[in-house]
Amino acid sequence: MRVRTRPIEGQKPGTSGLRKKTKVFMSESYLENFVQSVFDATGGAEGRTYVLGGDGRCFNDRAVQVILKMAAANGARAVIVGQGGLLSTPAASHLIRLNRADGGIILSASHNPGGLEGDFGIKFNTASGGPASEALTEAIFARTKTIEAYLIADEPDVEIDRIGRQQIGGMEISVVDPVADYAVLMEGLFDFPKIRAMFAGGFRMRFDAMCAVTGPYAREILENRLGAAPGTVVNGTPLPDFGGMHPDPNPTWAHDLMDRMFADDAPDFGAASDGDGDRNMVVGSGIYVAPSDSLAVLVANAHLAPGYRAGLKGVARSMPTSAAADRVAAALGIAAHETPTGWKFFGNLLDAGRVTLCGEESFGAGSDHVREKDGLWAVLLWLNILAERRESVKEIMESHWRRFGRNYYSRHDYEALPAEVAAGVMDGLRARLAGLPGCVVEGMTIASADDFAYADPVDGSVSRGQGLRVVFADGSRLVLRLSGTGTEGATIRLYLERYVAGPGGLDAEVQEALAPVIRAAETLAGIRTQTGRAGPDVVT
């Protein structure tokens, strides 16, 4: 059936797909226009195979039905869909690769809250399993501006709760267990018997799935296959509104986990994941591990896991992520790449075999096993390292800092600002950049200042305007950029970093250690004065 439609404004994908309020996605033709634009901008769905699933948030089930019927009407050959319409983002990436599918449609607004009043999102991943490139998302966006009609099959709903094969029109639908193939992949990368022995020896863990998609994955892998005590996984049932939780695994939103990990009887290891299972937060008993540090520790110790025993080809991190991983890469004699924010920028490096591990300050880490960041993968690699080293998280962090020095790091978020105010802050600093080198602020000399541009070493494409950075002579730095994942107003992210070589000064309180850089940021960018905010909304 061909349905006439008209372009809808603002269907521009951000850092990771199109994210809007759930009610916006539920409005007439909104989802349909975008999905048809994806098909049109990728050469049509005729004869193609797709993977489809989402994080189970409100509207996930309806959207799955619409997309299945649209794929059928557009002539797709087959769609592989997770039972109940569920797939974590890394599991979807794996299924695309495993089945040599032509692409995948993932329904998620990731760490943004869900529910009718929350957010919904959709992203398209290509045959590599990774997020669409900037050029492709631009093409999809361009198509949304000219679309006149979409195709949808006039068929009854598909039984997405029943595993097995079904047909609509000429299209085959395979409803698969969302966990099974992913769990097999993890078993191949990590030393499950060793981790199982650690749990059998009394090792205690708490995994907070935040009522989002990782619950079933974590239960199957941690409790069923690795023998973690029943109840290790909490908030393990995916709910359409995430039980009212904000599934963003950071110390602010995963405060319950933080409280327990800092209590007297804390478990040995704690972790949390986000809406779609690609992010992770790692906490030891009495110690929080910043994502940039986590990446550095994973790079330094990955060889302890069977999947990485041969060593790493290279490592990549997003520009605002601290340089802690670069120091490890230098010691290992492997390349360290610096990319813009967004997992899509790692894709070419991974495909070209230039890097094995990637990570971001925004609680993302992953490897070449899929083309997305992978929350549970990071947790399992940590578990493998803990099982091999037989040290606590705290001991591992302290010895890491003694060896490599410590990159004190924090991110300050100023959320839901009026767009023009946020733009004013950015424009103000951008205009001053050229004149900053040589200036002294808070006793620190500015060594360089620029608006980060990335030239992809594989395909030569250049991405500009990826964040304002001011680097001081001692290696400290501040970075300012606007979030590309929010749905309300604008969010300024201020990233702060200061390196201390040691041996002294390695155990300072993070915000205190960063105090001169925080003051320098206010002097240079005037975020508080211009926004009228007393301080950041979220500090990670």
Active site residue 110: yes
Closest separation between CB of residue 117 and ligand G16, Å?
A: 19
Residue 360 in the binding site for ligand G16 (CB under 6 A):
yes
Closest separation between CB of residue 491 and ligand G16, Å?
A: 7
Neighbouring residues of 91: CB distance < 8 A, sequence distance ≥ 6: 53, 82, 178, 179, 181, 182, 217, 277
Please identify which residue in 235, 294, 485, 487 interacts with ligand G16, judged by CB under 6 A: 485
Closest separation between CB of residue 442 and ligand G16, Å?
A: 26
Q: Which stretch binds ligand G16 (CB under 6 A): 48-56, 159-167, 213-221, 358-366?
A: 358-366
Q: Hey, what are 447's tokens?
A: 């060594």
Amino acid at 305: A
Contact yes or no for 470/524 (Cβ under 8 A): yes
Q: Which stretch binds ligand G16 (CB under 6 A): 305-313, 331-339, 359-367, 499-507?
A: 359-367
Residue 483 in the binding site for ligand G16 (CB under 6 A):
yes
Closest separation between CB of residue 453 and ligand G16, Å?
A: 17
Q: Which is nearer to ligand G16, 82 or 249 (CB)?
A: 249
Q: Hey, what are 94's tokens?
A: 């794996």
Residue 341 in the binding site for ligand G16 (CB under 6 A):
yes
Please identify which residue in 57, 246, 279, 327 interacts with ligand G16, judged by CB under 6 A: 279
Closest separation between CB of residue 345 and ligand G16, Å?
A: 8
Please identify which residue in 57, 69, 111, 412 interacts with ligand G16, judged by CB under 6 A: 111
Please identify which residue in 342, 347, 359, 536 interacts with ligand G16, judged by CB under 6 A: 342
Contact yes or no for 401/506 (Cβ under 8 A): yes
Peptide bond into 230 cis (omega under 30): no
- Give the Cβ contact number of residue 418 at 10 Å: 11
Listing DSSP states for 361-393 in one string gives TTTEEEETTSSS--HHHHHHHHHHHHHHH---H
Please identify which residue in 32, 220, 223, 278 interacts with ligand G16, judged by CB under 6 A: 278
Q: Which is nearer to ligand G16, 278 or 293 (CB)?
A: 278
The whole-angstrom separation of Cα 270 and Cα 285 is 8
Residue 412 in the binding site for ligand G16 (CB under 6 A):
no
Tell me which of 16, 110, 318, 410 is the catalytic residue. Answer: 110
Neighbouring residues of 4: CB distance < 8 A, sequence distance ≥ 6: 148, 149
- Give the Cβ contact number of residue 280 at 10 Å: 29
The whole-angstrom separation of Cα 177 and Cα 31 is 25
Map the footprint of ligand G16 across residues 13-42, applying CB under 6 A. 15-16
Distances (CA, A) of 382 to 81, 299, 375: 30, 11, 11
Residue 484 in the binding site for ligand G16 (CB under 6 A):
yes
Contact yes or no for 404/298 (Cβ under 8 A): no
Binding site residues, ligand G16, CB under 6 A: 15-16, 110-111, 274, 278-279, 318, 341-343, 360, 362, 364, 483-485, 493
Name the residues annotated as catalytic.
110
